[in-house]
Structure 1
């Protein structure tokens, strides 16, 4: 018998969205930004290519300074990671001993559960209400770490800000507020960093900054927390090219702000059109919507769309069995999706 840890054997593992191996799909299943970054950010790569024989900056100095300028915090309050998933993993390994408790909502980003189980932590699921929302502040004294995504997938709405702030104020745990989708809304929680020394804000450049393929994320917290997390971080967790492209993207912040507004306009149009097609659709603060067809099972709709080379996300979570999550694509992609849905509905 191979010596595999019991908690690993018992963990089913995280299941990412399908990545098709051909280019003929409309891909609305993994919340990527449908628009490319500005071409000028790639100019910075040329100077780095001859340096690939050298290790990258282990602490991503230029990148953290660029992030600090955008987010309004000191570079000393930022840790860079291989996507925000890396930040989540670092937080667990920094603040939670195996066997101690990690808390998160009963419907949220499923990687929280996977990371906790692989670490050997115990899990506390915080119940959400019938709208999958937080109905009161979280009082969970046994938790060492609490993961809270706002906006919270797969619904895509911000958590109640008052409840979230009271959770941070009252908790003895480290509270990680995962803001992967925050740039597609008017709200964030960066001000919590000035109020609470137990708060970590995580961000990613995969969604709003169109760099999902480069895997860059950040954790922002008090300097004392960042210092401890840096002990746990892999020594060279971001390569040269990722650091260079991400820095250039942050320096093109105004370009991306225009893109975020374009996504939001398409999102509003998609929600209205889906409701006209007899879907129940949650309002969204993200670059995706959670929608339930009222005339067909979500599983069947997912399958029929896939036959038409359109991918949306279908989860087998018992609370959302009749929902699909639809990433907001370009206007053309959303038009093709809506046309396909109308055709499927007409054939019922």
Structure 2
């Protein structure tokens, strides 16, 4: 700890990303990346954009990308906000819509960045305990609050909440912003985007990192009624007007436009996830029903941490969470079929 740190720097507990070891080659099933490369159209667009115009600042309004996303979701471009990955948009949203002395509601088992941002921006929060089966208890969100945020599907559990339950939350909290973080929605769930015109308090946040294979490009977007998007713009332009670079903007446009490739890779991941889930169940694992590009698993007799360490010895990385209620679970990202076949072989040997 440095004497030059501010009080906030001293007290925050930063987010810890998944391992990215460089000591040897691993099968990486620990950070929920897409096992398939970006669309060839994305690569071509980035290559074409890598020209002398990089001396210029990128478009601060991301006009073309907003148009593309608006067309894709049948919205107006004024209902679209672009950011440097969904994490940046989440940070802007905490600043833009939550007040420090009005506690927001967050699931107790969820994306850990929510607590990080709450502490960073001095926003109080109350944790809503998931049900014993790790499902989201919708009725627990019907209490006074300063705002609500949860992922759908949830992470790291993978559980999905149908839209009728989302509507219940929106109706019970009409005076507060409800943020639905849809980082994994493309792997089997139905998006809340169709509810945007009906609910002025709904903000949907998505990313191109998972289903569009662009984790390395850092592009996310928020969808909501115009007054919410204007709020995000006010925060962004008080921090950095040029958050998304030129290459990312051109690549993201093509990622959205190449629907055929998106559907092909999405379907592959869903099929592999379903197959692996059944294979894990057949060797004794409890597998939480997943609508994501990962599975959340536990074994009745062997500790998750032991399985984690033994997988790592065999050059397979998964995610272990040493925290209450889920310290006997592993989150396993869905790789390609070859990677998952090796994973199944190794884990079968471990539980024999």
When normalised by structure 1's length, the TM-score is 0.95
1:170 aligns with 2:172: yes
2:220 counterpart of 1:226: no
Which of 302, 307, 311 is residue 305 of structure 1 equivalent to? 311
Q: 1:98 aligns with which of 90, 97, 100?
A: 100
**Paired residue for 1:317, among 312, 315, 323?**
323
How far has the Cα of 1:248 moved from its partner? 1.1
Deviations 1:189-227 (A, max 9, x none): 112201110110000000000000011000001111111
Check whether the contact 1:45–1:244 (CA below 8 A) recurs between aligned residues.
Answer: yes
Secondary structure, in 3 states, of the residue corresponding to 1:166? helix
The 2-side partners of 1:28 and 1:179 are apart by 20
- How far the C-alpha of 1:254 sits from its partner, in A, is 1.9
Structural mapping, 1:1-348, within 5 Å: 2=3, 4-21=5-22, 24-49=25-50, 50-137=52-139, 138-143=141-146, 145-171=147-173, 172-233=175-236, 234-346=240-352
Structure 1 stretches of 5 or more lacking a match?
Answer: none
Q: C-alpha separation between the residues in 1 aligned to 2:47 and 2:274?
A: 39
Segment of structure 1 superposing worse, 127-136 or 192-201: 127-136
Q: How far apart, CA to CA, are the structure 2 residues paired with 1:211 and 1:23? A: 24
Query: Conserved in 2, the CA contact under 8 Å of 1:8 and 1:117?
Result: no
The Cα of 1:67 is off from its aligned counterpart by: 1.1
**Does the 8 Å CA contact 2:86/2:221 hold for their aligned counterparts?**
yes
Contact 1:263 1:329 in 2 (8 A): yes
Question: Over residues 251-295 of structure 1, what are the superposed CA-to-partner deviations in whole Å (9 max), with x where a residue is unaligned?
Answer: 112211111111111011000010111111111110100000223
For residue 304 of structure 1, report the CA deviation from its aligned partner.
Answer: 0.6
Instruction: Indicate the SS of the match to 1:200.
Output: strand
Deviation at 1:134, TM superposition (A): 2.0
Contact 2:106 2:127 survives alignment (8 Å):
yes
Q: 3-state DSSP class of the match of 1:203?
A: strand
For residues 148 and 179 of structure 1, what CA distance do their matches in structure 2 show? 9
For 2:235 and 2:49, the matched residues in 1 are separated by 27
Q: Deviations over 1:291-332 (max 9, x none)?
A: 002231100100010111100000012111111000011011
Instruction: Tell me the SS of whatever aligns to 2:142.
Output: coil
Listed one character per residue, the Cα deviations across residues 47-93 of structure 1 (whole Å, up to 9, x for unaligned) are 32221111000011111111112222111100001111111111111
Secondary structure (helix, strand or coil) at the match of 1:128 reads: coil
| d(CA) in 2 for partners of 1:124, 1:72 | 35
Per-residue CA distance 1:138-168 (angstroms, 9 max, x = gap): 123232x211111001111112433321111
Query: Which deviates the most, 165-174 or 43-52?
Result: 43-52
Contact persistence 1:267–1:328 (CA under 8 A): yes
- Displacement after TM superposition at 1:2 (Å): 4.1
Question: Aligned pair count?
Answer: 345
- Quick one: structure 1 residues 23 and 45, their matched pair in 2 at CA, closer, same or farther if it must change by over 3 Å? farther
Consecutive unaligned residues of structure 2, counting only runs of 5 or more, are none
In 2, Cα distance between the equivalents of 1:160 and 1:63? 29
Which has the higher mean CA deviation after the structures are superposed, 194-203 or 91-100? 91-100
Q: Matched residues in 2 for 1:14 and 1:229: separation?
A: 22
Cα distance in structure 2, aligned partners of 1:30 and 1:73 = 31
RMSD: 1.5
